[in-house]
């Protein structure tokens, strides 16, 4: 529902759809997503150069996320030539996490969804979906960028508590 409030036929709508798809499909933190550069995407993977703790990792990009990025790149190529950021502002600067938070709040209200939707919830839901699809805990750990598998296990158990986690199916 939230993602459908963005217009895929305008540059900012296509960009915001791609950002949400990256947050969910690649399980990135919002700051990691904002820091991405064009050179960090090779069509199949994203390179997170400065993850939490300044850790570097490579993450897989699912098909539907690739499609959203491709759609965004068709607008980006024409209008944002001077910017290195994968998801720049209209003036070519870095999109801020504050902008993304506000965009999600506006989209949630526009969609009529009553539950809270937050940026990190897309990461939570994406990780939970990986687990539901049978991904190994070690693979999810690498995707999330956790140093300890115990952190990943705790993370997944806490987000699978339906009372505490808005599932992505509720917000898409």
Instruction: Give catalytic status of residue 75 as yes or no.
Output: no
- Structure letter (DSSP) for residue 54: G
Active site residue 155: yes
| Whether pTM exceeds 0.85 | yes
pLDDT computed for residue 32 by the predictor: 96
Q: Given the residues 15, 21, 108, 123, select the one marked as catalytic.
A: 123
Query: Considering 29, 57, 76, 108, which one is annotated as catalytic?
Result: 29
* Active-site annotation holds for 15: no
Ordered by start, the domain boundaries in the chain are 3-171
| pLDDT tens, N- to C-terminus, the chain (172 residues) | 789 999 999 989 999 999 999 999 999 999 999 999 999 999 999 999 988 888 999 999 999 999 999 999 998 876 777 889 999 998 889 999 999 999 999 999 999 988 888 898 898 889 989 988 999 999 999 899 888 888 888 878 776 664 344 444 444 5
Write the DSSP string, 141-156.
HHHHT-S-HHHHHHHH
Closest residue by Cα to residue 20 from 10, 40, 34: 34
Q: Given 39, 110, 120, 154, which residue is catalytic?
A: 120
Q: Which CATH class is domain 3-171?
A: mainly alpha
Q: How far apart are CA 124 and CA 53, in angstroms?
A: 19
């Amino acid at each position: 529902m939230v993602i459908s409030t963005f217009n895929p036929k305008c540059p900012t709508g296509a960009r915001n759809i791609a950002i949400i798809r990256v947050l969910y499909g690649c399980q990135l933190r919002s700051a990691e997503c904002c820091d991405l550069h064009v050179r960090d995407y090779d069509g199949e993977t994203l390179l997170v150069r400065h993850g939490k703790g300044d850790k570097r990792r490579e993450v897989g990009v699912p098909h539907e996320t690739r499609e959203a990025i491709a759609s965004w790149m068709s607008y980006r190529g024409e209008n944002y030539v001077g910017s290195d950021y994968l998801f720049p502002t209209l003036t070519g600067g870095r999109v801020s996490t504050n902008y993304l938070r506000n965009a999600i709040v506006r989209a949630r209200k526009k969609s009529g969804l009553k539950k809270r939707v937050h940026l990190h919830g897309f990461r939570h839901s994406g990780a939970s979906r990986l687990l539901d699809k049978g991904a190994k805990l070690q693979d999810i750990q690498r995707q999330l960028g956790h140093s300890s598998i115990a952190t990943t296990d705790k993370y997944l158990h806490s987000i699978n508590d339906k009372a505490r986690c808005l599932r992505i199916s509720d917000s898409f």
